[in-house]
Amino acid sequence: MSQPITILLSVTGFIVAMIVLNGLLTWQRQQKLKRQLLADWGTFAEKRPKGERYLKAAYLDHEAQVNHDCQVDDLTWQDLDMLDVFEQLNVTQSSVGAEGVYAQLRAYDLGKPAVDEALIAFFQDHPDSRLKVQMAFAGLGIEPANNSQLYLRTTTKKALPNAWRFKVMGGFPFIGVLLTLLWPAIGVTLMVVSLMVNVFYYILKREGLDAEITSMGYLVRTIITAERLAKISQPTQVALRQAVKPMRGITRFAFVFRTKTGSMGDILTEYLSIMFMLSFIAYNTVLDRLSSHHAEALALWQWLGDLELAIAIANFRATEATTTQPVFAKGGMTATDLAHPLLKHPVANSVDWQKNALITGANASGKSTYVKSIAINAILAQTINTVTATSFTMEPGEVITAMAVRDDLSEGDSYFVAEIKAIRRLLNAVAKKKRVYGFIDEILKGTNTVERIAASASVINWLKQYPSLVVVATHDNELTDIMGDQCVNWHFQEKVTKEDGVVFDYLLYQGPATSHNAIALLATMDYPTSLIHDARQLAADFERSKAWPKFVKGGIQA
């Protein structure tokens, strides 16, 4: 046996061995993944590296085409820590699913949560089918910067010119292999030279097409995943089969666009793709097919996203201590045992919100948490048809907050300017005479006491003429007197003891707050006795006369 043939057989044997080894390692990874998915069911998703900018970009592109009734704007999203809510919900295994869950939480149609309850119930009751679906999506994997939806909607790239060139260049190494059997020296020379030329050309051209090939690669893998899912018995199986039909010719190039896991199989595939120009040949063919089926590909993407969304909601309901489906009806908002979904041990409270509300109470008593729990659940009700309560009824409406306001250095805004801008956007939405649920925390705290109370009262009074509901958390008890019965009053209480300091029960009480704890808390922290005495006398004199006394030599002059 000649030396070239021996070399050829050795290389072939090595490749076969690598394929077998890669298959074994892949099987082991799949078994490990199955065990992990089974163990993780009924638990909150582990936090992943922050990649919100890609999720948001995909959402904005999708929303530009769909145009829902309401969108959760950036300030409300940040105020309510909705990214943390998303991460808690996001047990998805692919970027298709993650983008779907993110978009679901950021936009909705009034009173029409876009979820498939039959599909959610199926995954709750059929763990074997659910696991098969999760495994299929895990094979697709996560590619945060895939930009696939944007690519489908906006790409104007034409097929690479002179496609025959890539086929010829990719064919030369094959010719070299054949010639090696007859004229070894010529065959080996042709094979080596052609491979060197192909590698150089690949590196030169690939850089300019890298983003497109990444997007196309993820799309191709998405279609392959859809074909696998269409073989699994679940409620959308028939519809999925129909959706994937126009795409089937594309999957011939699956091996070129396989998920990169760093395995030996990936490395081997990458080398083969470079040597035989497979990426460029596949690019032209797939682009031609996609150009005729953009709408079908986008519809398929939505079908797949809905599958992972249903699994995510089913897991959320299985994990949270208490959940129920909301009821949508005219009126205000009522709820029993409403809890904040991000707290491990929340204190549940009821809601009976029929007119604008004022919440008073000490710092850390539970005001902000209660307000956030209402706002978050109002969003969850209208997006994933799920709330963390035992009962929940609301009239559909847009949710807007002005809570965690910060200085905006990029805009040159002080805290107060940023605050009044945040409240102004709420007023603008209310003025459209649609139902808005507004949430303001520590209203206008960035200015002096007199103007803060005057402006706050005027804001609340202006709101009463519109069919919206706004809750305002404040330390200004004067507002409860000024607004009278125009607002319902709620408050949170606390106890201050020398042994325990301030103790909160985090329960909602009716009426305005009647206790103050700031000075008492100073006393528990061993502030000077004379200082505490003066503070209490000043406060008592003001409460009695509504005018501040003065410090004079020898004490306080009332």
Does residue 316 lie in a domain region?
no
Is 404 found in the same domain as 287?
Answer: no
Is 280 found in the same domain as 169?
Answer: yes
Average pLDDT, the chain: 84
Is 203 found in the same domain as 102?
Answer: no
Q: Of the given ranges (176-190, 309-323, 526-540), which has the lowest mean pLDDT?
A: 176-190
| Cβ-based neighbours of 538, under 8 Å, separated by 6 or more | 548, 549, 556
CA distance 370 to 506: 9
Domain boundary among 142, 176, 192: 142
Model's pTM, two decimal places?
0.84
Q: What is the pLDDT of residue 405?
A: 64
Q: With helix as H, strand as E and coil as C, how does 223-281 read?
A: HHHHHHHCCCCCCCHHHHHHHHHHHHHHHHHHHHHCCCCCCHHHHHHHHHHHHCCHHHH
Q: Of the given ranges (52-66, 264-278, 384-398), which has the lowest mean pLDDT?
A: 264-278
Q: What is the pLDDT of residues 2-28, one digit of tens each?
A: 665 666 666 677 667 767 766 777 777
CA distance 371 to 333: 13
Q: What is the pLDDT of residues 236-284, one digit of tens each?
A: 999 899 888 887 777 666 556 655 555 555 566 666 676 777 777 777 7
Q: What is the pLDDT of residues 127-151, one digit of tens each?
A: 999 999 999 999 888 888 888 877 7
Please say if the pLDDT value at position 371 is more than 90. yes
CA 374 to chain centre: 19
Is 492 found in the same domain as 372?
Answer: yes
Does residue 516 lie in a domain region?
no
Does residue 501 lie in a domain region?
yes
Does residue 524 lie in a domain region?
no
Domain boundary among 510, 529, 546: 510
Is 168 found in the same domain as 299?
Answer: yes
CA 427 to chain centre: 27
Domain holding 121, by residue range, is: 3-142
Please say if the pLDDT value at position 409 is more than 60. no
CB burial of residue 116 (10 Å; 0-12, 13-18, 19+):
middle
Is 385 found in the same domain as 505?
Answer: yes
Does residue 153 lie in a domain region?
no
Q: Are 376 and 333 in contact (CB under 8 A)?
A: no
Is 374 found in the same domain as 278?
Answer: no
Does residue 549 lie in a domain region?
no
Order of strands across the sheet with 436-441? 398-402, 436-441, 469-473, 357-360, 488-497, 501-510
Structure confidence at residue 513 as a pLDDT band (50, 70, 90): confident
CB burial of residue 535 (10 Å; 0-12, 13-18, 19+):
middle
Q: Are 464 and 354 in contact (CB under 8 A)?
A: no
447: CATH: 3.40.50.300
The total number of structural domains in the chain stands at 3
Is 372 found in the same domain as 280?
Answer: no
Is 342 found in the same domain as 297?
Answer: no
Is 380 found in the same domain as 349?
Answer: yes
Domain boundary among 90, 111, 142: 142
Is 116 found in the same domain as 168?
Answer: no
Could you list the beta-strand ranges (E) of 141-244.
none
Does residue 534 lie in a domain region?
no
Does residue 517 lie in a domain region?
no
Is 178 found in the same domain as 61?
Answer: no
